[in-house]
Structure 1
Amino acid sequence: MRIDASRAIGAYAAVTTLAIAWLMLGANAAPKTAAFDTIDVQRINIREPDGTLRMTIASRDRMPGIIVAGRETPHPDRPQAGMIFYNDEGTENGGLVFSGALKDGKPTNLGALSFDRWRQDQTVALSSDEAGQTRQAGLAINDRPDRPVDFPTVARLVRQPASAQRDAAIRAAGVGVAPRAFLGRTPDKASVLALRDPDGRKRLELKVAADGRATIDFLDDQGHVTRSITDVNR
């Protein structure tokens, strides 16, 4: 059979054009949605179209370190599984973590949902913590320093032996907390609402003790009770 070269080139060009058009149409098509009954994974990263990380769901062994603006630093202490949330710049700003097991024959359990200040640590935390007979659960509100934490410096410092000099350097790197409010159950089996001043000093506490006795305590800046109101009917 004799092949006409000009016709062959024309046919090749037509096939190539159709292939390119198919690829372009496929690229502009809506993304496909896959459905699964069960997925077994150790980690899932949720990202924006530009690649910015927005959430990680991971097992304990695959939990990420501290990520700030896309840069990861090893976490000094996060032995839990869960979810980590990230803001628009890809910086950690909260999460939901959980753990629990028998340790030395005693039950331990932790569940915590928290939200962070920008490039800082948690300012709101709803948690339940159990270690043997010691249990606490509640909502905590914290103040954090006005400067971001220098996470790489802190990660390096926490590996050093404890000392006053090390602790001062960690504070200089932006680590600090002033508890402002707590509502929940305390380890002594009381239900408490405690309010603190900007320096973290307790100034007002409403409490119902394990025996049912109710008190309202007013405290000075040294932690001394200056006035106490009790349940006079008991």
Structure 2
Amino acid sequence: MPDIMDGKDILPGHRQDDPIAGLMFYNGEGDECGGLILGSKKDENGNYESGGSITLDQYKQDQVVQMHYTDENSQMNYGFSVYDKPNTPLPELLDKHHKIINSELSEEEKGRELEKVWERNTQRAFMGKNPKGEVTIQLSDSKGNPRIRMVVDENDVPRMEFLDGEGNVTCKLSPEL
């Protein structure tokens, strides 16, 4: 399933060895613009992983809307996510990424430079269920930091949390209050 953009495979070999099948969506210009993937694998001890995803991509970019499901030995996470993407075309960002990785910079410098390249590539919203059994709606800031969480926990107890940019709860509303 090649990721074609501007007539080129921008991620050669991407997911080639993954145990998945699916469909890729392409727009009128022939660019990959989303897809549907499903897969699973099981080892000799009966441990398994299963998952699926349907995505819709921003023009010349990656996914901005995703419905997804993962299950690792009954530890499930599933839901709906919304992402921000930069306006810079994905092939340009991948080219910058590869140049940094192959540069003479220290690992620390590479990390800082890669953060700059991908800084507007963030999950902004999630609605779904996590492995702890909590049903959650989470809204994040432009840096991807969770700022508002609405949760109904595994015991059906609701709560709403407001968080600062560091992830600390600054205000909590729950039935006990």
- 1:124, 1:201 → 2: CA distance? 18
TM normalised by structure 2 equals 0.81
Alignment of 1:1-234 (within 5 A): 63-64=1-2, 66-73=3-10, 74-77=12-15, 79=18, 80-103=20-43, 104-149=45-90, 150=92, 151=94, 154=97, 163-168=107-112, 170-171=114-115, 177-232=121-176
* Structure 1 residue ranges without an equivalent (≥5): 1-62
Task: Describe the superposition over 1:172-191 as per-residue Cα deviations: whole angstroms up to 9, x where unpaired.
Answer: 65585211100000111100
Q: Whose RCO is larger (CA < 8 A, sep 6+)? A: 2
Q: How many residues align?
A: 169
Q: Is the 8 A contact 2:120 2:143 kept in 1?
A: no
SS of 1:198's equivalent in the other structure is coil
TM-score, normalised relative to structure 1:
0.63
* Residue 222 of structure 1: how far off its partner (Å): 2.2
- CA displacement at 1:144 relative to structure 2: 1.2
In structure 2, distance between residues paired with 1:72 and 1:203: 37
Unpaired runs of 5+ in structure 2?
A: none
Judge conservation of contact 1:148–1:174 (CA < 8 Å) in 2.
Answer: no
Name the CA distance, whole Å, in 2 between partners of 1:179 and 1:121: 12
% same residue? 26
Q: Which has the higher helix share?
A: 1
Q: Give the structure with higher Rg (CA).
A: 1
For each residue in 1:145-164, what CA deviation from the matched residue of structure 2 results, as whole angstroms up to 9, or x when unmatched?
2211234565687799xx44
